[in-house]
Amino acid sequence: MQDAKSLESVPVFLGLDYHTKFVQICVMDARGKVLRNCRRGNSVAELAGALERQWVVRRAAVESGCGAANLAEDLAAEVGWQVTLAHPGYVNRMKHNPDKSDYSDSRMLAELCRVGMIPPVWLPPAPIRDLRALIRRRADVVGRAKAVKCRILAELRQQRIVEPEEIGGRWTKAWLAWLASDQTGLSEQGRFVIETELLELGFLKQQLKAVEKRLRQATRDDKVVQRLLTIKGVGEVTAWTMRAMIGRFDRFATGKQLARFCAITPRNASSGGRGGEAGLIKAGDPLLKSVLIEAAHRLKRNEPRWKALAERLLARGKPKSVVAAAIANRWVRSLFHQMQEEPATN
């Protein structure tokens, strides 16, 4: 015979519409009845306090976004809720109501959670989230440095100044020494602009060194990164980025799934009896995609297997961009099988 406490318990499903300063929480029972839909502060204690004592959380869902993973991890660790990160794109497509509000969003998440139709997103552990922050910081510094270089070259073109051929390529020590000298023929104001740009470029170079040093320290004992570095065509930046954005290779069932996650597979554009492709799929992390395309360019220059594939595709009239994408796609699929024996950590 069951005790009175178990008879009083009510299984519930939660939808959490997360915001920076608050969370809209919807509590729904197994029959789909909304028991509570209210706003609470952005803390585990306040969210747990929104539930009655007899309510037993079966599942909870929060739409994936900035800070959502941290909230889901804290809720699982501190109150034991089974929290799923929901893919925001798929959740949005499931909404049939054109109106949008925190109330309706949390209710939709609770309903999808109740019927088991939450399209999940992988919840990366804290070390992977920290690694992503470092990778994005590095990308930001590199992008700002490129912008500074573009402004410097624009000022030189504006004043119709061409560097001497004997100093070699741009951005070498000799070229930068010439740019900093009085031999360029820059106007007074142009010289001031160039000097300030060079100061900023020097600062960004120091920032890049600091970020890359931190990345080496953070991944020094990471066995996945160390394995990636043993594979031809993979350098530090590629290994760091793949570890940060992919996380674990064994969370994918096939190499095709991994390539699709990396957004380097062609998008199907078939209808009726006609089939075709429409470029790469519009998904995935753009930083990860760009790193893999750059890796493909290196592979087709330096590795016989991929160089031969590139030559065959070029002979068939394929554009160079398509060739690089095809190499990246096949290389990632082969990499999936090489990484299947990765350690079961993080």
Find the mean pLDDT for residues 140-145. Answer: 97
Indicate the DSSP class of residue 251. G
1 pLDDT band (50/70/90 cuts)?
very low
pLDDT tens digit sequence for 62-73: 988 888 888 999
Q: Is the pLDDT of residue 5 over 60?
A: no
Beta bridge partners of 268: 277
By C-alpha distance, which of 257, 251, 225, 233 is closest to 331?
233
pTM here is 0.81
For every residue of 160-228, DSSP letters joined together read: T----GGG-STTSHHHHHHHHSS-S---HHHHHHHHHHHHHHHHHHHHHHHHHHHHHHHTTT-HHHHHH
Find the mean pLDDT for residues 244-261. Answer: 92
235 pLDDT band (50/70/90 cuts)?
very high
- Pairing state of beta strands 55-63 and 266-268? unpaired
Give the pLDDT confidence score for residue 272 in this predicted structure: 55
- Look at residue 313 and give its three-state secondary structure: helix
**Average pLDDT over the chain, rounded to whole?**
87
By C-alpha distance, which of 13, 6, 35 is closest to 109?
13
- Pairing state of beta strands 10-18 and 55-63? parallel
Give the pLDDT confidence score for residue 123 in this predicted structure: 83
Could you tell me the two tokens for 125? 């552990």
Amino acid at 133: A
Q: Is the separation of the CB atoms in 18 and 68 below 8 Å?
A: yes
280 pLDDT band (50/70/90 cuts)?
low
Helix axis angle for 68-78 and 126-158, nearest 10°, is: 170
Residues with Cβ within 8 Å of residue 137, at least 6 apart in sequence: 211
Give the pLDDT confidence score for residue 20 in this predicted structure: 87
Give the C-alpha separation, 175 to 168, whole Å.
7
Strands annotated E in the chain: 10-18, 22-29, 34-41, 55-63, 83-86, 120-121, 266-268, 277-280
- Reported as type and span, the H/E element at residue 75 is helix 68-78
By C-alpha distance, which of 97, 98, 90 is closest to 118?
90
Give the C-alpha separation, 162 to 152, whole Å.
12
Give 267 or 165, the one with higher predicted confidence.
165
Give the C-alpha separation, 223 to 345, whole Å.
9
